[in-house]
Amino acid sequence: MLPESTSPVMTSPPGPVTVIDGRSYVYFAGTSYLGLAGHPEVIQAACEAVRQLGVHTATSRSGFGNNPLTLEVERRAAEFFGTERAFYFSSGYVANHIVLQALADRVDATFVDEASHYCLLEAARLLGKPVTAFRHRDPDDLARCLRENLPAGGRPLVLTDGVFSVSGRLAPVKEYLRVLEPYAPAALHLDDAHGLGVLGENGRGVLEHFGLWGPRVNSAVEADGVSLTICGTLAKAIGGFGGVVPGTREFVSRVRASSHYFDGASAPSSADAGATAKAIELVQRQPELRRQLQANIARLRTGLRTLGLAVEDGPAANFSVEIGNGANMRRLHAELRAAGFLVPYVAKYSGLGPEGALRFAVCARHTAEMIDGVIAALRKAL
């Protein structure tokens, strides 16, 4: 007997077909973009980890909390990103807060995209420096805010999602870097939760997509340039669980030392670490997953446009569509659901307009029939 809940209850692994409230749906929700969160090898790895190591180490990383799987996640993550090191911890939500601690003494004021994810907005406030919100994805407004709010000689830090969690739009990273150059030393930090594993030749995310991945990222904080930092979660496209900060040996050491997450929080659970190590291995072993995902993204976005809907082209696996008002989108959601397709209507989330939106998420394991099926069902419901 399941406990009473006002939210839907998932009783299968998330995948292209997912069981919600006792019914199977072709599932266009969530964030398991590569379709690995329910992969048999990932499940098996999680089970073996718990059998071998117990639920978790019951101590922090700086105590006796390193187990072989936590270290393996960090080794694999560093390999995936092509960096010297990576720091793995139990939540992507705190990842920005953790990185920002390492930047704190080099920053005088923060400027945050107004539509950023809650965790980035909270991390900005927790940094304890003055916070200014600039208009969503607007480099000109960022320039205006810097002119008006940064004290002379002050060092700015700009914060943004790499890929926005509902709209799937990308931050104009190159433009922000250009705006920041005259203010150097300055810093730009991105939460790339939805870009990691999806965007770029090697799945390294939005910076790789824009050709900006390289030694400059998560390296020594530049004395006179614009530093570029990034963090992400392994719980979305990658199919594991927990937050990650890759980088140079020096940067990762600084991040670990500046935040107390390394010595004040329980190490990631064994199941999480075991699943995550396996999931990263699968992502590395099967680059075709990313190619299939990109083909599915293009098929769904293009197909929805044939219905006359304003769906932009873009490389993100998540995107939103606004179709009339909230009541209409609630109806469309219900009709799609009755037809066996789950496309959430998100009424309220950071970055959304007052009427909310239908949020689509496509995964590498959706078949062409599934994608064409949801388009046909929406055509009927419109």
Interface contacts to ligand PLP, rule CB under 6 A: 91-93, 117, 119, 161, 165, 191, 193, 233, 235, 243
Strand, coil or helix: what is 193? coil
Given the complex with ligand PLP, which of 89 and 262 has the nearer CB atom?
A: 89
- With H, G, I as helix, E, B as strand and everything else as coil, classify residue 347: coil
Minimum distance, C-beta of residue 350 to ligand PLP, in the bound complex (Å): 9
Q: Which helix (H) or strand (E) holds 250?
A: helix 249-258
DSSP string covering 252-274, please? Answer: HHHHHHHSTHHHHSBPPPHHHHH
Please work out, in degrees rounded to the nearest 5, the angle formed at the alpha carbon of residue 236 by the alpha carbons of 115 and 6. 75
Q: Which residues touch 308 (CB under 8 Å, ≥6 apart)? A: none
Smaller CB distance to ligand PLP: residue 72 or 192?
Answer: 192
**Least distance CB 99 / ligand PLP (angstroms):** 12
CB 323 within 8 A of CB 378: no
Rounded distance between C-alpha atoms, residue 189 and residue 156, angstroms: 11
Nearer to ligand PLP, 143 or 193 (CB): 193
Provide, rounded to whole angstroms, the least separation between the CB of residue 77 and ligand PLP. 14
Cβ distance to ligand PLP smaller for residue 117 or 155: 117
Q: Cβ of residue 150: shortest distance to ligand PLP, in angstroms?
A: 25
User: Would you say 31 or 57 has its CB closer to ligand PLP?
Assistant: 31
- Nearest residue (CB) to ligand PLP, 113 versus 191: 191
Minimum distance, C-beta of residue 280 to ligand PLP, in the bound complex (Å): 14
Token pair 């199919």 in the structure block, residue: 239
Q: How far is CA 344 from CA 28, 102, 106, 164, 361, in A?
A: 8, 37, 41, 16, 9
SS3 228: strand
Q: How far is the CB of 135 from ligand PLP (least distance, A)?
A: 19
| 3-class SS of residue 87 | strand
Helix (H, G, I), strand (E, B) or coil at 297: helix
Residue with Cβ nearer ligand PLP (113 or 208): 113
Instruction: Between 243 and 303, name the residue whose CB sits nearer to ligand PLP.
Output: 243
For the bound state, the minimum distance from the C-beta of residue 37 to ligand PLP, rounded and expressed in Å, comes to 12
CA distance 173 to 163: 11
**Residue at shortest CB range from ligand PLP:** 92
112 three-class SS = strand
Burial class (CB in 10 A: 0-12, 13-18, 19+), 141: middle
Half-sphere exposure of 323 (CA within 13 A, CB side): 22
Q: Find the shortest distance in angstroms from Cβ 91 to ligand PLP.
A: 4
Decide if 278 contacts 132 (C-beta within 8 A). Answer: no
Of 219 and 318, which CB lies nearer to ligand PLP in the complex structure? Answer: 318
Beta carbon nearer to ligand PLP, 18 or 160? 160
Least distance to ligand PLP, CB of residue 164, Å: 8
In the complex, the smallest distance separating the C-beta of residue 208 from ligand PLP, rounded to whole angstroms, is: 17
Largest CA distance in the chain: 62
CA distance 198 to 293: 8
